Amino acid sequence: MNSLKSVVVLVGVLMLVLAACSSGSADDSTPSSAASTAPLSTVLNGVPGIVDPTNTGWPRTVEVLNGTVTIAAKPERILTVSLGHDEVTYAMVPAGRVVATGSYTKLAQHSNVAHLADAVGVISLEAEQIVAQNPDIVVASPFTKADFIDALTNVGITVIQTKLHNDPDGRIQDIILLGYVYGEVDRALELADEVQARYDVLKEVTSTKPVSDRQRVLSLTSYSDKIYTAGANSTEGGIIEAADGINVAALAGLEGNPTTSLEGVISMNPEVIFIPQPPESGEPFREQLLSDPALAEIPAIKNGRVYVVPNKFFTTLSFWNLRGAEDLAVLLWADDFDAGAFGGFSFPE
């Protein structure tokens, strides 16, 4: 957490400097004064991927998963090929700069930016379809195939392939890196400050709880007659940790999102189970768990502490997972948090 705290302190200093520089430009390519350049470069220096933190002009270069990429000018036509990247992007740039999205980004059940994506077209992972949108930049995830990226770069489209993190430090770095890529560092720092402030409010309560009070939590979903859980290094696991629950799947040595069995659920013996999937499938699965006599002695089943939660907060990998941690904290620490107390995040005007 030390590196995250350092970034946040610098963010706060920079905000004060920028507020004082009323003649400054909104575009980070033209710092408003020599006074703002030093703290800005210091903040950017802590972010992996930014090659030259003193360069706030164009072109600028980043080191990302698909290599060293130079961005010639501020991207005005932006396209990403993952829902998580769309959520970060819409928090960074005016909606009009996003030229198209995937179909899941448009679905409110899955997406926290569906209301903003409603006005744009739908794309799939077909290179020809992406090229037709004439984007200045395409942001890809680690799961995007290399031949897709090559097809775009071969026709001159700038592609940035980055991962999204599920830890607090990483989320701040994701925001600032994409803010740099988009030429929206000022906005990125505002958002980073907002995300960090909410995380601090959450941890101010939960981190003071004695270990003996922390509850054993299990994430379960059911698709195609298989049961999946969330172990170490998973999105849902990061949410459990942020709410100061004990991730029993991680304790059992599970990584990522493997399948499990009813016997596995019994052995993990959770006190709380949450189901991060849409209600039409999540509620029947919840009833199945509660009514299965083989599970009757599990504390979560015995005490009726099995909850269907919004999958768009718990499974889409972006800073919106903090909202999932806040909702989980309401379930784990009901005496300390009020249901409905947490809202959304801000968007640029």
pLDDT at 27: 58
Q: What sign results for the dihedral spanned by CA atoms 49, 52, 55, 60?
A: negative
Residue 115 CB contacts under 8 Å (≥ 6 apart), including other chains: 108
pLDDT at 255: 97
Give the angle 210-212-214 at the CA atoms, nearest 5°: 80
- Identify the H or E element spanning 103: none
pLDDT-flagged residues of the chain (< 50): 1-11, 13-26, 30-38
pLDDT at 241: 96
Per-residue pLDDT reduced to its tens digit, 200-218: 999 999 999 999 999 999 9
For tokens 């189901």, the residue is: 275
Domains (ranges, CATH) in the chain?
1-61+166-208 (no CATH), 66-161 (3.40.50.1980), 211-332 (3.40.50.1980)
Per-residue pLDDT reduced to its tens digit, 310-338: 999 999 999 999 999 999 999 999 999 98
Distance CA 163, CA 177 (A): 11
Distance CA 335, CA 153 (A): 53
By percentage, how much of the chain surpasses pLDDT 70?
A: 89
Q: What is the CA radius of gyration of the chain?
A: 21
Distance CA 12, CA 7 (A): 9
